[in-house]
Chains A and B, each alone.
Chain A
Amino acid sequence: MADRLVPIGSAGGRAAAVLVAAVILSALLAVGLRADLLSGLGPGEWAAVRFTLAQAALSAVLSVGLAIPVARALARRQFYGRGVLITLLGAPFILPVIVAVLGLLAVFGRAGWINGALTAFGLPEVSIYGMHGVVLAHVFFNLPLSARLLLQGWQAIPAERFRLAAQLDLPPRAVWRVLEWPLLVRVVPGALALVFVICLTSFAVALTLGGGPRATTIELAIYQAFRFDFDLGKAALLSLVQLGLAGGAALIAFLVIPQIRFGTGLGRLQQRWDGIGTLQRLADTVWITAASFFLLGPLSAVVASGLSGLGKVPFSVWLAAWTSLWMALLSIFVLLVLALPMAGWIASRTRGGGEAVGLLGLSASPLMIGTGWFILLNPVVNPTDVALIVTAVVNALIALPFALRVLVPPVRDTLEQFSRLGAALNLRGWGFWRWVILPRVRPQIGFAAGLTGALSVGDLGVIALFADPDRATLPLQMYRLMGAYRMEAAAGAALVLLTLALGLFWLCDRGGRWHAEV
C-alpha cells in the first residue's frame, strides 16, 4: 500500500517512542555514569546473579512442565465449572504479588494449612522461605499463565485433525506424537522464555519470601544496596548487570514468545474422540483437581482471612488505597497516551521493528529505571516528593510491551480494512482515530487499560525505593503491616488491594466491551 494512503500520521507515534526510549536511556545513562565499575562484583553480588538465574530457570521449567498436563486435561475434558476455572487461570497475572504471597503463606507458611496437617501426622514442618519459597510463588503466578498459552495452542489444532485421528483409530501414543508433540514443540519454547524473563526481574517475591545471602535476586540486591547501604555506586552497577541479563533474555525471548491472548474464546471445548481410557480420565481428573487447589487455596485463604481482618484495618490503609487508586489511574493515562499513537505508528509500518521500543520497557527492570531517575532527580527535587509520579510512569512503561501486543493487531486490521474507504472520504488524522480506530479497538483499549491499572495498583517495586514513612501505596502499606507482624490488619488490607486490582481490571475491560460492535 502506498504511504500516502495511510490515513493517520506517524509523528505522534514516533514522538511517544522517542519519549519512552529517552526516559529509559537517560536512566541507563545516569546509572552508567554512577556505577562503581572499578570495585566490580563482590562474592555477594555474584551469589545474587547465580541465584537469579537458577530460580528463573527452575521456575520456568516447573511452571511450564506442570502446565502441560493441566492444559492437556483442560483441553479434552468437559466438567462443571470448566469455564470459570479457565477464566481464573488468567487471574494471577493481574493479582498483586504481595496479596498472592500472603495467600501462599496461609497455605504453605509456618502456621499454614500444609504444616498444620504435617504436624498433626507427626511429620516435620516445611519452610516456605528461601529458594523453594521463591520458586513456589513464581510457579503460582506462571503455571496458570503457561497453561493458558498452551491451551491456546491446543485449541489451534483444527477439529478435523482430531476427527481424522479418530477415523484412523490412533492409540493415545500416536495421537500424542502426531498432534500434540508438534504443538508443544511450537509453543513450549516461547512459554519457557516468557516465564524465565518474568522471573528474572522478580522483586516483590524475593523481598517477601527470599532474602539473605542464599536467596537474593539482583533486583532485591539493588534495593538493599540503595535502601540499607545507600551505596548508589553498587546499586547502579547491579542495575547494569540486571539490564544486560534481562535485556538479553528479553530480546531473545520476544522473538519466540507467542501472541498473548487473554480474551474469551478459550472456553470453547473441542469435540474429541481420543483420551477415553480409564487411566487417562483418572490422570486428567487428578491434574485438574490439583491445579484447582493450588490456584484456589491461596486465593480463598486471602478472602477468608481478609474478611475477618477487615475490621482491624487502620486508617492508613484506606489512605494508601486512595493513593494507589489515583496512581493507577495516572498510570493508565500515561500508558494510553504512549501506547495508542505507538500502536498506530507500528501498525501502519509494513516492516516490524517498532515494537522493539516497547520491549525496552520489558528489558529494563523497574528498579533500574527507578535508580536512574533517583540519581537524576536527586540534585533537583526531593525524590520522595515525586515518588508516586515516577512509580506511575514506570508502571506504565512496564505495561507498555503487553499493551502493544494487545493493541497492534486490531489497529493493523482496521487500517487494512478501512484505509481505502477513509481515503475516499477524506477521513484522516484525528478524524480517522475518532471515528474508525477508537470505536473498533475499544475492547482492546479497555483490556490494556485494565491490565495496566491492575499491575500498577498492585505494584511493589519502585515505590519501595522512593517512599518515606508518610507516603505509601497500598501494597507498601501492606508490606509494612506484615513486617510489623500485624497479620490480621495485613489480611484486611490484602482483601482491599485484591478488590481494587480486580475491580479496576473488570471495570476497564467491561467498559471497553460495553456495546462494542465489531
Chain B
Amino acid sequence: MLRCDNILVRQDGFELQADLVLEAGRKAAVIGPSGAGKSTLLLAIAGYIPLARGRIIWRGQDITLSAPGNRPIAMLFQDNNLFPHLSVEQNVGLGLRPDMRLTADDRKRVTSALERVGLAGQSQKRPGGLSGGQQSRAALARVLLQDRPLLLLDEPFSALGPALRADMLDLVSDLVAETGASLMMVTHAPEDARRIADDLIFVADGKAHPTVPAAEALKTPSPALQEYLG
C-alpha cells in the first residue's frame, strides 16, 4: 500500500498538495486538466522532486528520503525512456543489472522478457531502428525485469495513435496482473481510465483528490470532475 501522507510539493512557484492512498495491486488513473500537477505528483512519489512537507509511506516504511533508484518503483517518463546509443538488449538488461554484467541466465531472462512484449528477434537493434510502439514495448520489457511492486506511467504512450495506445494499456494491464504490482498512470483520456483503471485520482487546482473507485466516479462525477470531463 502506498500512502501520500499530507504531502506538499513546491516547484517554481507552483504548489501541489496530496493526501491519498493506493491499495496494493490496484490500478489508478491520474486525470485532470493540463498543468494541474499530474506529472508533478508522480515525480514526487518517485523521488525526483523533494517534498516541502509530508511523508511518503510504502508498506509502512517511510521512503520520503530514499534515492529514486532505491524506491520500490519503476517509472516510465513521457520520453527518454531508452538510451539511444545502447542496443535493445542492453537497455532492457539495465533493468536487471545497472553494472551491465549480465550472466547467461540474465540474458535468458532478457530474451524472454522481449518475447513477452512481442519484440523477439529485435534485441540487437538500437531504439532508433524501432517504431514508436516497439520502443514502448522495449521500455515495458525493462519494467517487467525491474520487477518493482509499484509502476508509475507518466503518459509514455501519448505519442502513439489510439489503437496502439489501447494495445499498450492492455499489455500494461497484463504485466501488472502477472507481477501483482500496483499502477499509477497519468492520462488525458477518460476512455483509458475506463479501459484499465480500478481507481481514479483527480488532480486539479494544485490538489490531488483522494482515490475513488473509477467506475463509480465516472458514472456519477463530482462537480469539479464533471466540469473537466465536459
Residue interface bits A404-430, CB-to-B below 8 A is 1, else 0: 000000000000011011011111100
Residues on A close to B: CB < 8 A? 2, 4-5, 417-418, 420-421, 423-428, 431, 434-436, 439-440, 516-518
Could you say which of B66-74, B115-123, B168-176, B203-211 contacts chain A? B66-74
Q: Are B74 and A435 in contact (CB under 8 A)?
A: no
Q: Are B98 and A423 in contact (CB under 8 A)?
A: no
Contacts A420-B48, A421-B80; A428 near B69 (Cβ below 8 A): yes
B residues 163-195 in Cβ contact with A at 8 Å: none
Q: Are A517 and B128 in contact (CB under 8 A)?
A: yes
Residues from chain B with a CB closer than 8 A to the CB of A440 are 85
Query: CA A428 – CA B100 in complex, angstroms?
Result: 12
- 6 new A-B contacts, CB < 8 A, other than A4-B67, A420-B48, A426-B98, are A420-B77, A421-B81, A423-B48, A424-B68, A427-B94, A517-B126
Residues on B close to A: CB < 8 A? 46-50, 67-70, 73-75, 77, 80-81, 83-86, 90, 94-95, 98-100, 126, 128, 146
Q: Are A418 and B83 in contact (CB under 8 A)?
A: yes
Select one of B75, B81, B84, B146 contacting A517, CB under 8 A: B84
Q: Are B98 and A428 in contact (CB under 8 A)?
A: yes
Q: Are A426 and B70 in contact (CB under 8 A)?
A: yes
Question: Which residue, A417, A426, A440, has most C-beta atoms of chain B within 10 A?
Answer: A426
Q: Are A425 and B84 in contact (CB under 8 A)?
A: no
Question: Which residue, B47, B94, B146, has most C-beta atoms of chain A within 10 A?
Answer: B94
Contacts A424-B68, A425-B69, A517-B85; A2 near B48 (Cβ below 8 A): yes
Query: CA A172 – CA B118 in complex, angstroms?
Result: 61
Closest CB pairs A-B (n = 3): A426-B69, A423-B68, A427-B98
Query: CA A379 – CA B46 in complex, angstroms?
Result: 59
Select one of A2, A420, A435 contacting B83, CB under 8 A: A435
Query: CA A431 – CA B99 in complex, angstroms?
Result: 6
29 CB-based A-B contacts, threshold 8 Å: A2-B48, A2-B49, A418-B80, A420-B48, A420-B68, A420-B77, A421-B77, A421-B80, A423-B48, A423-B68, A423-B69, A424-B46, A424-B69, A424-B73, A426-B67, A426-B70, A426-B98, A427-B94, A427-B98, A428-B69, A435-B83, A435-B90, A435-B100, A436-B83, A439-B85, A516-B85, A517-B128, A518-B84, A518-B85
State the main secondary structure of chain B at its contact with A. Answer: loop
Q: Are A2 and B50 in contact (CB under 8 A)?
A: yes
Query: CA A427 – CA B94 in complex, angstroms?
Result: 8
Closest to A438 in B: B85
Residues from chain B with a CB closer than 8 A to the CB of A435 are 83, 86, 90, 94, 100
Query: CA A107 – CA B128 in complex, angstroms?
Result: 52
- Name the distance in Å between A183's Cβ and chain B's nearest Cβ: 34
- Name the distance in Å between B33's Cβ and chain A's nearest Cβ: 24
Residues from chain A with a CB closer than 8 A to the CB of B99 are 431
Residues from chain B with a CB closer than 8 A to the CB of A418 are 80, 83
Query: CA A242 – CA B80 in complex, angstroms?
Result: 49
Residues from chain B with a CB closer than 8 A to the CB of A424 are 46, 68-69, 73-75
Question: Which residue, A427, A440, A518, has most C-beta atoms of chain B within 10 A?
Answer: A427
Q: Are A5 and B98 in contact (CB under 8 A)?
A: no
Residues from chain A with a CB closer than 8 A to the CB of B81 are 421
Residues from chain A with a CB closer than 8 A to the CB of B74 are 424
Residues from chain B with a CB closer than 8 A to the CB of A421 are 77, 80-81, 83
Query: CA A417 – CA B82 in complex, angstroms?
Result: 11
Residues from chain A with a CB closer than 8 A to the CB of B80 are 417-418, 420-421
Query: CA A435 – CA B47 in complex, angstroms?
Result: 23
Contacts A425-B94, A517-B126; A431 near B100 (Cβ below 8 A): yes
Residues from chain A with a CB closer than 8 A to the CB of B86 are 435, 439
Query: CA A423 – CA B67 in complex, angstroms?
Result: 8
Residues from chain A with a CB closer than 8 A to the CB of B98 are 425-428, 431
Question: Which residue, B73, B84, B126, has most C-beta atoms of chain A within 10 A?
Answer: B84
- Name the distance in Å between B173's Cβ and chain A's nearest Cβ: 21
- Name the distance in Å between A411's Cβ and chain B's nearest Cβ: 14
- Name the distance in Å between B13's Cβ and chain A's nearest Cβ: 17
Query: CA A278 – CA B146 in complex, angstroms?
Result: 68
Query: CA A518 – CA B100 in complex, angstroms?
Result: 20
- Name the distance in Å between A368's Cβ and chain B's nearest Cβ: 42
Query: CA A115 – CA B2 in complex, angstroms?
Result: 87
Residues from chain B with a CB closer than 8 A to the CB of A431 are 98-100
Closest to B79 in A: A417
Query: CA A440 – CA B128 in complex, angstroms?
Result: 14
Q: Are B84 and A5 in contact (CB under 8 A)?
A: no
Closest to B143 in A: A424
Residues from chain B with a CB closer than 8 A to the CB of A517 are 84-85, 126, 128
